[in-house]
Amino acid sequence: MSNIDNIIQGVAILGSLNDQTRKILNKEATAFLALLHRAFNGTRKDLLKRREIRQAELDKGILPDFLPETRHIRENDAWKGAPPAPGLVDRRVEITGPTDRKMVVNALNANVWTYMADFEDSSAPTWDNMVNGQVNLYDAIRRQVDFKQGEKEYKLRTDRTLPTLIARSRGWHLEEKHFSVDGEPISGSLFDFGLYFFHNAKKLVENGTGPYFYLPKMESHLEARLWNDVFNLAQDYIGMRRGTIRGTVLIETIMAAFEMDEIIYELRDHSAGLNCGRWDYIFSVIKKFRQNPNFVLPDRSAVTMTVPFMDAYVRLLIRTCHRRGVHAMGGMAAQIPIKDDKKANDAAMTNVYEDKLREVRAGHDGTWVAHPALAAIASEVFNKHMPTPNQMFRRREDVRVTGNDLLNMNMPGTVTEEGIRKNLNIGLGYMEGWLRGVGCVPINYLMEDAATAEVSRSQLWQWCKHSITTAEGKKVDKAYAQKLLKEQADELASKAPNGNKYHLAAQYFSGQVTGEDYADFLTSLLYNEITSTPHPGSEITATRSLAAEPGATGRTGTFNESAMKLNNRLVGGHDLGLKANFCAAAPGELKVGTDEEKGEKEKRGVKRGWEEKGWEENEWEENEWEENEWEEKGWEEKGWEEKEWEEKGWEEKGWEEKGRIEMRRKEIEREEEEERGKGGEETRNGKEEKEFRADEGQENESTQTGLAARKSFSTQDCQQGDTRK
């Protein structure tokens, strides 16, 4: 057995693969992921436990401060971060967005300097979104991403150098449950980083740039140290010079704000600077101090970048970065054009201009936009006020920021019922989209992502917890919050297409806005709804290929960890799409590959569903996804039941027809009995079942998440002229 085969022992891929995704999750890449997991997952979990301990201290009223044990790092002027890498010297306008194929093409065609391809807050981490995103970036880096949708062609432009690509992986707290190593799900961070780096690092260098990353959600310099260790191992593994990777850290937690110097120091050979993640930062302030009545904030609209704690955060970040010779990146302009109201659009674009003007005057080296139409505005501002590639020479030595400045919550503003309803609308709207597999959702002409949804639910929790009285004189309590939540959910659901998930979103949101339960992250709370793998103890319906042949179907039943171990043994657990090609799609969702499979999908209306005919072509309203029989006949009638799943059972129709798996199952059970002393009656308990029992005839709505829609953010308004200087 080769070394690669040894490494991938214990790896289980629980998501469906097709020909394109198999090239991404080949044996070599999977072995690399397994190495990363085994090397770093223990440290990752220890650091997450450290967050919990620190939260307990905050709940007791112990406020953060600059660390005394790292004073020598902060006070030493001699050390610097790495000089800007190729393609990262000038970053004045960066566009951000998810990694669906249309977005990748449009973002790389936009008049910007870099494109942050996002596996995090603007992507819902369905298995399809994550692995197809890797395919899309792989193809884009090799200029083979062009495609045709209907009559429209999407091609990368050839009239100029494309924007530098920067990938953002998921945060340390998220896992990728479709890929496990030794019985543990891999970190989403390591999965995203590992696949992108392994396949593209050398090609990116060949193209004249390099493997560059945005690093989100960190709360301490020790978490940055972990990333640095990951970078070093990865570069050593493929024979790349250390320091080739560059990482820009999003300072989007209040805890990280007290450790900016230390974070750059830990990453210094790989540092590409820091970024002001403004909405996540506000979320973090509320989250961390949610038990403290002194940190209650007014309506979200009142928490601007000029309030004391936000202004201090920006000034400290710019001073710290320029003192260390790295970029200080500004925040997001989330506005999108208002095409049917010129007056409102002009006002929105004026706000964007003023926001970017504030950033460049403060000393930022670049800024973010969510829509190509805003790139021209941001470019105009930065070109006029920053004629140099960056302004690291502006040392901002006049800035003095204390711990009290970072914690100064004094600001004008009140809590209003309008503010409560806006938060409910944003939270419900984003969660509903996320449950359909959409990670960025336009709401009231703003492109909302996970960060703004987190602000919304955290403010609602905080106001209810501390019994805030609104400007209208109404006390915010559980009953009031639940009443408004129901009203907003009903209103939104009534206006949305049939089959929307607003009421499911409201069920989850209900427990998060009453000042009682508080999930660490909304994305963690909702994750099981969009995974196509079963989780221990849950009743699920999914297709799972346990046998050798790709495309074999599974069965319905109760999943438990022992069954997972048995399944892994049946297939060897590591042949990666050859023998161990696990398939966890929704019922009837055949894996794409053969013409027969493609024809079956098209016949059932899956291939031509609303994912392709709906939002991406702006035909949601005109054509409706019911047009493709989703509602009229339903997947229950047109899908796997049509193939006699219920009538004849998967045992008769599937790969057990030849008896191979059943024989192997019996061999395993016999071996286990012999190990226990031969013939001893097997003990059962709630945690260790040895069977994967089929509950034939049971329907489970959770499987519909396997067919969750993915909405691409259309960037058709991209100007073709190059405004770069």
Mean pLDDT score, 482-503: 96
In this structure, the number of other CB atoms found within 10 A of the CB of residue 347 comes to 11
Instruction: Please list, in sequence order, all residues whose beta carbon lies within 8 angstroms of the beta carbon of residue 378, skipping any fewer than 6 positions away.
Output: 92, 93, 333, 352, 356, 367, 369
pLDDT digits (tens, 9 = 90+) for 164-181: 999 999 999 999 999 999
Q: Which of 115-129, 133-147, 652-666 has the lowest mean pLDDT?
A: 652-666
The residue with tokens 């994305």 is: 523
Q: In this structure, are residues 276 and 331 in contact, taking their beta carbons and an 8 Å threshold? A: yes
- Distance CA(15)–CA(226), nearest Å, equals 28
pLDDT confidence tier of residue 668, bands split at 50, 70 and 90 = low
449 classed as catalytic: yes
> Phi, psi (5° rounding) for residue 55?
-65, -40
Q: How is residue 278 written in tokens? A: 């403004």
Mean pLDDT score, 336-351: 93
- Distance CA(311)–CA(399), nearest Å, equals 11
What is the second-level CATH architecture of the domain 417-529? Up-down Bundle (1.20)
CATH number of 4-407: 3.20.20.360
| Statement: residue 717 has pLDDT above 90 | no
| Statement: residue 199 has pLDDT above 60 | yes
In this structure, the number of other CB atoms found within 10 A of the CB of residue 249 comes to 29
Q: Where is pLDDT greater, at 420 or 608?
A: 420
Mean pLDDT score, 427-438: 95
Residue 395: the pLDDT is: 92
Q: Could you give the percent of the chain with pLDDT greater than 90?
A: 71
- Distance CA(214)–CA(201), nearest Å, equals 15
The residue among 233, 104, 114, 208 whose CA lies nearest residue 163 is: 114
pLDDT confidence tier of residue 274, bands split at 50, 70 and 90 = very high
pLDDT confidence tier of residue 666, bands split at 50, 70 and 90 = low
The residue among 233, 208, 254, 218 whose CA lies nearest residue 87 is: 208
The rounded mean pLDDT for the chain is 80
Q: In this structure, are residues 572 and 579 in contact, taking their beta carbons and an 8 Å threshold? A: yes
- Distance CA(540)–CA(139), nearest Å, equals 34
Residue 179: exposure state from Cβ atoms within 10 A (0-12, 13-18, ≥19): buried
Residue type, 595: D
Q: In this structure, are residues 216 and 250 in contact, taking their beta carbons and an 8 Å threshold? A: yes
pLDDT digits (tens, 9 = 90+) for 28-61: 999 999 999 999 999 999 999 999 999 999 999 9
What is the end-to-end Cα distance of the chain in Å, rounded? 55
Q: For residue 279, what is the enclosing H or E element?
A: helix 278-288
pLDDT digits (tens, 9 = 90+) for 509-530: 999 999 999 999 999 999 999 9
- Distance CA(171)–CA(216), nearest Å, equals 5
pLDDT confidence tier of residue 248, bands split at 50, 70 and 90 = very high
Domain positions in the chain are 4-407, 417-529
Q: Which of 366-380, 399-413, 496-510, 572-586 has the lowest mean pLDDT?
A: 572-586
pLDDT confidence tier of residue 489, bands split at 50, 70 and 90 = very high
159 classed as catalytic: no
Q: How is residue 256 written in tokens? A: 């990280």
pTM confidence score: 0.76
Mean pLDDT score, 281-299: 97
pLDDT digits (tens, 9 = 90+) for 108-129: 999 999 999 999 999 999 999 9
Calculate the dihedral angle through the C-alpha atoms of 489, 495, 496, 500, rounding to the nearest 10 degrees.
40
**DSSP conformation letters of 217-228:** S--SHHHHHHHH
Residue 126: exposure state from Cβ atoms within 10 A (0-12, 13-18, ≥19): buried
Residue 369 β-bridge partners: 95, 333
Three-state SS at 376: helix
| Statement: residue 592 has pLDDT above 50 | no
Mean pLDDT score, 596-608: 37
Residue 334: the pLDDT is: 87
Q: Which of 436, 449, 544, 665 is catalytic?
A: 449
Q: Which of 168, 319, 324, 544 is catalytic?
A: 168
CA diameter of the chain: 83
Q: What does DSSP assign to residue 226? A: H
In this structure, the number of other CB atoms found within 10 A of the CB of residue 153 comes to 10
Q: How is residue 225 written in tokens? A: 């140290």
The residue among 205, 429, 402 whose CA lies nearest residue 311 is: 402
Q: What does DSSP assign to residue 469? A: B
Mean pLDDT score, 300-326: 97
Calculate the dihedral angle through the C-alpha atoms of 489, 495, 498, 500, rounding to the nearest 10 degrees.
-40
| Statement: residue 140 has pLDDT above 70 | yes
